Amino acid sequence: MTNYQQLFERFNSLTILVIGDVMIDAYMWGKVDRISPEAPVPVLTSTKREHRFGGAANVALNVQALGATPILCSVIGNDDKADIFHQLLQNNQLTDKGILSDSSRITTTKTRIISGTQHLLRIDEEVTKPLHEQLQERFFAHIANVISNDKIDAIIFEDYDKGAITPSIISRVVELAKSKNIPTLVDPKKRNFMSYHGVTLFKPNFKELSEGLKMEVDKKNYDAIFEAAREINRQLGARYTMTTLSERGVLITDGEVYAAIPAEIRNIADVSGAGDTVISVASLCLALGLAPKEIAAISNLAGGLGCETVGVVPVNKKQLLEECLKKL
């Protein structure tokens, strides 16, 4: 029997490197009470603005909420939004040692315009092309420097297809991690899906699994999902593939056998951010050497808890511990 109280205390000793695409989620709230005389569009009288972490930065917040120390590694621009990003790091007591600025990029920002509860518009400011070769060299050297100067217990690749993660970065970081016995985890997206060779744990959702393999997979059939996940293990040489299945729970496999963990019945308020919670919890459990079925079970509970809260909110460590003690 796992001593969950002790396990959750051990989270506090871990340092997790989060490599990926960071972004700012910006919000502008206001009130619409007239139509513009210039065009048939609503006029928003702005009453409030807010900036929050998005993308890989949200994974760092989840790792931090669990008691561990996250180090974010990403490339942002040399722009006014970069100043906001660094301020968010300070506000959340996160180090900037892994952040690289470069004038060839812009700091990804997604601005949502909201009137009351009505989402009117989203404006995306981003560059999504991969880092150019010289910048890739700088970024890898930057990552390698962090790994050599800090005791890293696990590395998460948090890929949003915004260009910070490239096949070259992946292969070199995985090779370096293997040389230091550091487990690697991946939350993949489409562009680099089949580039994560040799990682420890590959975590697609069901849609990413079927689209990445270009296979029709029956979501109601765990055996069929296992066959698809086993193909991922074979092609990538991953030790584990853990597929999140929303209302069907989680399936994890080492390529030989699988464990399917059904989802808990919950009052679902918002599924956004659940994947970030799952990969964060999985990284800590993997770093502490838990068995795959237990990694999946704890991660599944965490993802479910995240869906009960509106908005992208980091996991509640105390609440997750209570769930583990009650249900596992």
Residue tagged active-site, from 21, 159, 187, 276: 276
Does 276 qualify as catalytic in the annotation? Answer: yes
Sort residue 201 into left (φ over 0), alpha (ψ -120 to 50) or beta: beta
Collapsed DSSP state (helix, strand, coil) of residue 293: helix
Collapsed DSSP state (helix, strand, coil) of residue 202: strand
Distance of CA 63 to the CA centre of its chain: 10
Distance of CA 99 to the CA centre of its chain: 17
Residue among 2, 63, 96 at smallest CA distance from 290:
2
Residue 18 near residue 104 (C-beta atoms within 8 A): no
Cα–Cα dist 141/269, whole Å? 42
Residues classed as catalytic: 276
